Amino acid sequence: MKNTAQPLLEEYQIGNLKLKNRVIMSSLTRGRATNEGLVPTPLMAAYYAQRASAGLILSEGTWVNPRSIGFINVPGIYTPEQIEGWKLVTQAVHDKGGLIFSQLGHIGAASHPDFFGGELPAGPSAINPQTQSFTPEGFKDTVTPRMLTVAEIKQTILDYKQAAKNAKEAGFDGIEVHAQAGMLIPQFLSLATNKRSDEYGGSVENRARIVFEILDAIIEVWDSTRVAIKFTPVLFSHVGIVTPDEETIPLFQYILKKLSDYNLAYLHIVGPAEDLTGTPVEVLQDDYFSHFRYHYSGTLMANLGFTQGSGNAILKDGKADLVSFGTPFIANPDLVKRFMYNLPLAESNRDTYYSGESGYTDYPEAVIA
């Protein structure tokens, strides 16, 4: 039976952009830009178009420059060919009545010399993030990177700006800055990987500086209501030493307060995947998203492990405005329809998450009996 009376299926207005529902497809790296130039392909356009019924699609994390690469077959948005490839994607999504933001990312210290002809990757400090990089030869341990100079940091910010310009040319509807764990931005935020003594290290304000400089640069290209940012403040697994520390809480309070003045499209927050008891962010354990609601005054998008039930509940309780779904969109291109008709969800195959001929565009839509 069709059930349209669900908070997830209500429209939502962001600036002059009308989202047809609140079921957002969060970014999913799928490793299908299998060509030398890391150019988006027609197959990728078909994949995104299949998911155009989402209220908004967030593209997979996309490299802002060649030095930001650190995972195989992930597309970039810094060459004319890549811009042309993305045009196929945005056109295909728009033709199906969908909206799509470009997620801009930089992996920083968590890359590997294999991506740079043997040269070291660079990060905030010469400290090994102790994670793994998915290289052309498989997963490899990260190494001790080179420390970025201030001039290189400024150039990286300009590269974000250029990538944002390129995304506009490619027909995207907006930008989401990828500040999830494992990427360059959280490496700057973390006490473990940022030991700088200049204006990008030390105090909370200095470590957070790059966040605002990147946003300021992008807002020169896009209206702020088309710019968003995604954080994972509570991730402990698979991210090496970039995990919450004793300054995570004051750091985020500072960031959220300052972001509240930015009039962004939304703030995207990933929830905890594990029990926070006994961690430096234990205070977030209860009623997690309410903490962000309290400190941030704009549109809040909640993520991690949501179902139709919990997604509707958090919206109904007013603790978030939008809910994003990652894994469920892999095997359910028609996730919105499945929610609308209370249909069961298909399970995705992890073996094909990042590569393979199958497990990408071949998940079928549900049949309504």
For 34, the token pair is 């299998």
Rule CB under 6 A: is residue 230 a binding residue for ligand FMN? yes
| In contact, 103 and 176? CB cutoff 8 Å | yes
Closest CB 350 distance from ligand FMN, rounded Å: 8
In the DSSP assignment, the letter for residue 132 is E
Minimum Å distance from CB 262 to ligand FMN? 19
Residue placing its CB nearer to ligand FMN in the complex, 125 or 321: 321
Q: Which of residues 332-361 bind ligand FMN (CB under 6 A)?
A: 353
Nearer to ligand FMN, 305 or 356 (CB): 305
Considering the rule CB under 6 A, would residue 107 count as an interface residue with ligand FMN? no
Which stretch in 14-22, 140-148, 250-258, 323-331 sits in contact with ligand FMN by CB under 6 A? 323-331
DSSP letters of 144-211?
--EEPPHHHHHHHHHHHHHHHHHHHHTT-SEEEEEE-TTSHHHHHH-TTT----STTSSSHHHHHHHH
Please tell me the distance from the alpha carbon of residue 352 to that of residue 358, in angstroms, as a whole number: 7
Q: Which of 6, 21, 29, 102 binds ligand FMN (CB under 6 A)?
A: 29
The contact pattern for ligand FMN, residues 33-72, with x = CB under 6 A and - = no contact, is: ---------------------------xx-----------
Name the strand (E) or helix (H) holding 75: none
Interacting stretch for ligand FMN, rule CB under 6 A, among 130-138, 185-193, 238-246, 326-334? 326-334
Nearest approach, Cβ of residue 115 and ligand FMN (Å): 16
Residue found by looking up tokens 């490793």 in the block? 31
Tokens 């990987």 label which residue?
193
Element (H, E) at 212: helix 204-219
Say whether residue 166 binds ligand FMN (CB under 6 A): no
Which position among 53, 111, 133, 180 is part of the footprint of ligand FMN (CB under 6 A)?
Answer: 180
201 sits near ligand FMN (criterion: CB under 6 A): no
Token pair belonging to 161: 């700006």
Task: Choose the stretch contacting ligand FMN; rule: CB under 6 A; options: 39-47, 200-208, 251-259, 298-306.
Answer: 298-306
Return the range that interacts with ligand FMN (CB under 6 A); candidates 135-143, 220-228, 302-310, 314-322: 302-310
Q: How far is the CB of 201 from ligand FMN (least distance, A)?
A: 24
Identity at 348, one-letter amino acid code: S
Nearest Cα residue to 173 out of 45, 54, 259, 57 = 57
- The answer to whether residue 26 forms part of the interface with ligand FMN (CB under 6 A) is yes
Instruction: Write out the DSSP string of 344-361.
Output: PPPPP-GGGSSS-SSSSS
CB of 237 to ligand FMN, least distance (A): 12
Pairwise CA distance, residues 264 & 2, whole Å: 34
Closest CA to 219 of 183, 179, 188, 265: 265
- Looking at beta carbons, which residue is closest to ligand FMN? 326
27 near ligand FMN, judged by CB under 6 A: yes
3-state SS assignment for residue 115:
helix
Residues in the interface with ligand FMN (CB under 6 A) total 20
Q: How far is the CB of 102 from ligand FMN (least distance, A)?
A: 11
79 contributes a contact to ligand FMN by CB under 6 A: no
| Beta strand extents in the chain (DSSP E only) | 12-14, 17-19, 23-25, 56-63, 100-105, 122-123, 132-135, 138-141, 146-147, 174-179, 227-231, 266-270, 300-303, 322-325
Min dist CB 53 to ligand FMN, Å, is 16
Q: Which residues bind ligand FMN (CB under 6 A)?
A: 26-29, 60-61, 103, 178, 180, 230, 270, 303-306, 325-328, 353
